Amino acid sequence: MQALRLRWWETTLLIPFALLGVLFLLAGEVIALVVLAAVLAVALASRATILERNRAGGYARTRGWLEFARACALFVIYGVIVFFFFVARHEHWSHNTRGTVAVWALGGLAFYLVRDILRIGDSANNWLLGSDMERKVAAVLEPLREQGWLVTHDIKKDRGGNVDHFVSGPTGAYAIETKRGRPRAADRNQAIWNAVWAKEKFGQRWVTAIVCAGTDPPPRPVQQGHAWVLGTSDLVEFLHRPR
């Protein structure tokens, strides 16, 4: 996983919550401590900045695990709500207005938590699968180093986003965008903008935009607009073709 960083003011804000957690622990308020820890986990996973280190799939993998941590923390809060449902039944909360309102409020919160847990869980799965795809493409590209090619992965762009892979060799320079599923128009546009950025960043005369599809790739490399779309098995052969 990549290293994580918080801004100084975000770290400062954690101090009073950490002290509150100590107070809950000393007072034996276990449930309050669990909820506080889960809320802090959600905040940390949401606010943490990933420090990119040119490792193939490193950003996507770390982002996936952060999303997974968020989903787990929300599930812990959901578990506490379920526990209070049993308490409400045992203590007969529905016998008075305040208890009834509390039960309905907990029910509404539980509904939204389940929705967010499923959504964030799907997001985590997509990030992790995308990371696996990036590492698969990197494994195909790495042997080019021994042939004198420049091969770099996960390059952070100046204004956000990243280039999955950048390679440069005898036949030219290439910005490669990896996609696990069928490439869309937005994916091709992203690859083109990555190529434009790499051209200016590295002083290249021309950078070819490539979208490497993991599933259902075209039977042969095909140019769609200003980007080429191809499968992993065709990648190295395509790079060696003279332009």
- Choose one of 79, 96, 131: the last residue of a domain: 131
| Co-location of 221 and 117 in the same domain | no
| Co-location of 24 and 94 in the same domain | yes
Asked whether residue 1 carries a pLDDT value surpassing 70, the answer given is no
- Choose one of 102, 131, 160: the last residue of a domain: 131
**Residue 141: inside a domain:** no
| Co-location of 42 and 71 in the same domain | yes
pLDDT tens digit sequence for 108-159 = 999 999 999 999 999 999 999 999 999 999 999 999 999 999 999 999 888 8
pLDDT tens digit sequence for 35-49 = 999 999 999 999 988
Q: 3-state SS of the chain? A: CCEEECCHHHHHHHHHHHHHHHHHHHHCCHHHHHHHHHHHHHHHHHHCEEECCCCCCHHHHHHHHHHHHHHHHHHHHHHHHHHHHHHHHHHCHHHCHHHHHHHHHHHHHHHHHHHHHHHHHHHHHHHHHHHHHHHHHHHHHHHHHHHCCEEEEEEECCCCCEEEEEEEECCEEEEEEEECCCCCHHHHHHHHHHHHHHHHHHCCCCEEEEEEECCCCCCCCEEECCEEEEEHHHHHHHHHCCC
